Amino acid sequence: EVQLVESGGGVVRPGGSLRLSCTASGFTFDDYGMSWVRQAPGKGLEWVSGINFNGETTAYTDSLKGRFTISRDNAKNSLYLQINSLRPEDTALYHCARINSDYDYSLDVWGQGTTVTVSS
């Protein structure tokens, strides 16, 4: 079964840091680009970042550049998102998703997400 499982979320004080992880199974991880997408409580989807199959190319939404870093370890079938200088507005459910080039680079597999709460 193709699956993505996120972890690493939690409650953090403003200014703190977190490293989110996403573990893939059921497919050849290093054949695919990957993305992070977040959803604040009661709000819509917001694309955060993406990375290509070998980690050499990354992209970020303009408003988050500088505080967010995406990376991957293909040997561990894992995707990561480092978030620094956390702000209350970063409170959200963070999903990882697979980018499928056969489906015109759409996000065809999603994890259930890990929750990040930024609060003092």
Partner 1 sequence: SYELTQPPSVSRSPGQTARITCSGDVLAEQYVNWYQQKPGQAPVLVIYNDSERPSGIPERFSGSKSGTIFTLTIGGVQAEDEADYYCQSADGSGTYVFGTGTKLTVV
Q: Applying CB under 8 A, which residues contact partner 1?
A: 35, 37, 44-47, 50, 52, 57, 59-63, 95, 97, 103-108, 110-113
Polymer length of the chain: 120
Report, in Å, the least distance between residue 39 CB and partner 1: 9
Report, in Å, the least distance between residue 92 CB and partner 1: 13
Report, in Å, the least distance between residue 110 CB and partner 1: 4
CB closer to partner 1 out of 30 and 46:
46
With a CB cutoff of 8 Å and minimum separation 6, the contacts of 78 are 21, 22, 23, 24, 29, 72
Answer whether 58's CB lies under 8 Å from 2's CB. no
Count of CB atoms within 10 A of residue 111's CB? 21
CB closer to partner 1 out of 17 and 57:
57
